Amino acid sequence: MEPERDDLVRSGPPLLGPSPLGPSPNGPWAAALSADDLILLNEEIAGMARAGLPLDQGLAVLAGEMGRSRLQTVTAHLADDLRQGRSLSEALDRQAGKVPPFYGALVAAGVRSGRIGDVLSTMTVYARAIADLRATVSSALVYPTLVLCFALALFGLVFYFLLPHFEKIFTDFHMKLSAFTEWIFALSHRPIYFVVVPAVLLGMVLLSWVFLRFSKKGRVAWARWVYMLPIAGGMVRSARLAAFTDLLGILVDHKVPLPEALRLAGEASSDPVMAAAAPKIVEALSQGKPLGEALRLRRGVPALLAWMAGLGEKRGQLGAALHQVSAMYRRQVELRSAYLRTVLPPILVILTAGIILVLFVVTMLLPMSSLMEGLTGAKK
């Protein structure tokens, strides 16, 4: 058991003198720390806590050795607040917008329980797991996207450079072509369509995203649309649910009250659906409803999560049940990402090759075969 020590969470003697940072560290446009920055900051705090070092002095020295960056600014502000007598959880809360809101609540819970080192270690594990999830999702989407771009480039090459040469040959010999071949050649005369149509569609999607992201309902609507996409949508949804349930489980494990834990997990969630549902779930809990029922009442909350959370609450093992749900969603992410990386690209390649083969046979080989037969007959 790690004792609660004031020098771990409050200020010691000033080390650098008056702070030049000002009384209000966060403006309305404060930039959040990246996952790597958050992991580094947490590991530094955890190391100082385990060694029993005064955090205000340690963070001040650490900030002095950093280059100008968001992490350096946050670290310096934390050291300044600790020197002024604030606790670590209060100092973290003052970095709202830069540090996740659940971070301060977890630190406060760790101080209350005397397990600040364990809490910080858990935070590092959680942050690394989230970073790994994001890397998995990104890598799974990159390969199919590259294959699709290559296919589009190949179609452009065929329509821009290959078809016009064959059309000139057939025109010079006054050949009668099929309606399909004539249509393909007519389409190749308007290559701008291959640029304008995709650009318009992409622009509409981007404008919809920009317009919807400025309201809570808009973000929920956009998320529901994304989740409807085959394979990729389910993977993104599973990754976000894994992060939400894992964080909620961590908060429950460290004795954060369930309504507060749900509020913090909802605020931290990258899933707009769960973020919008969290306040309603908290309201249902305040009315005396059990967690499982409160979750089932909310649209967009998966039935699996509601069932396992309700069962875990009844058995007094809510934290373990939430971590189990998170592990199940992580496995879904891994399966879908493996499918996207290994199965979808070959399907796209085969589909592209099939379309180009049909175009080549119908628009070029068949008319060329008729032309060769005509030339052969003329020589005879």
Residue 310 pLDDT: 92
Phi-psi sector, 52: left (phi>0), alpha (psi -120 to 50), beta = left
Phi, psi of 32 (to 5 degrees): -75, 150
Amino acid at 361: V
Which sign does the torsion angle of CA 219, 291, 331, 38 carry? positive
Can you give the pLDDT at residue 2?
Answer: 39
pLDDT per residue rounded down to tens, the chain (380 residues): 333 333 333 333 333 233 323 333 333 334 577 778 888 888 888 888 777 788 888 888 888 888 778 888 888 999 898 889 888 888 888 888 888 878 888 888 877 777 777 787 787 888 888 888 888 888 888 878 888 788 777 777 777 777 777 777 777 777 777 777 777 777 777 766 666 777 788 788 888 888 888 888 888 888 899 899 888 889 899 999 998 999 899 989 988 899 999 988 888 888 899 989 999 999 999 999 999 999 988 888 999 999 999 999 999 999 999 999 999 999 999 898 888 888 877 887 788 778 777 777 777 666 766 666 655 654 44
User: What is the amino acid identity at position 140?
Assistant: A
Specify the amino acid at residue 65.
E
- Phi/psi for 84 (5° steps) reads -85, 5
DSSP 265-284: HHHH-S-HHHHHHHHHHHHH
End-to-end CA distance of the chain: 101
Q: Is 0.85 topped by the overall pTM?
A: no
| Rounded Cα–Cα distance for residues 335 and 255 (Å) | 33
Angle formed by the axes of helices 70-83 and 55-65, to 10°? Answer: 150
- Cβ atoms of 268 and 239 within 8 Å: the answer is no
Nearest to 353 by CA among 345, 341, 342, 365: 345
Q: Tell me the two tokens of residue 229.
A: 């996409």
d(CA 369, CA 355): 20
* Predicted pLDDT at 3: 39
**Alpha helices, DSSP H, located in the chain:** 6-9, 35-51, 55-65, 70-83, 88-93, 101-113, 116-157, 163-172, 179-188, 192-212, 216-227, 232-253, 258-268, 272-286, 291-296, 303-314, 318-342, 344-360, 366-379
Phi then psi for 86, rounded to 5 degrees?
-80, 155
Closest CA to 211 of 195, 197, 225, 196: 225
Cβ burial of 12 (10 Å; 0-12, 13-18, 19+) is middle
Q: SS3 for 31?
A: coil
Give the type of residue at 326: S
Angle at alpha carbon of residue 200, lines to 195 and 205, rounded to 5° = 130
Name the 3-class secondary structure at 96.
strand
Of residues 296, 269, 303, 257, the one with CA closest to residue 280: 296
Length of the chain: 380
3-state SS string over 154-177? HHHHHHHHHHHHHHHHHHHCCCCC
Residue 188 CA to residue 148 CA, distance in Å, equals: 20
Nearby residues of 45 by Cβ (< 8 Å), 6 or more positions away: 55, 59, 88, 120
| Spans of all domains in the chain | 6-100, 232-342
Query: CA nearest 118: which of 129, 109, 110, 126?
Result: 110
C-alpha closest to that of 247 among 337, 119, 116:
119
Tell me the β-bridge partners of 109: none
CATH superfamily ID and name for 232-342:
Type II secretion system (T2SS), domain F (1.20.81.30)
In this prediction, residue 21 carries a pLDDT of 30
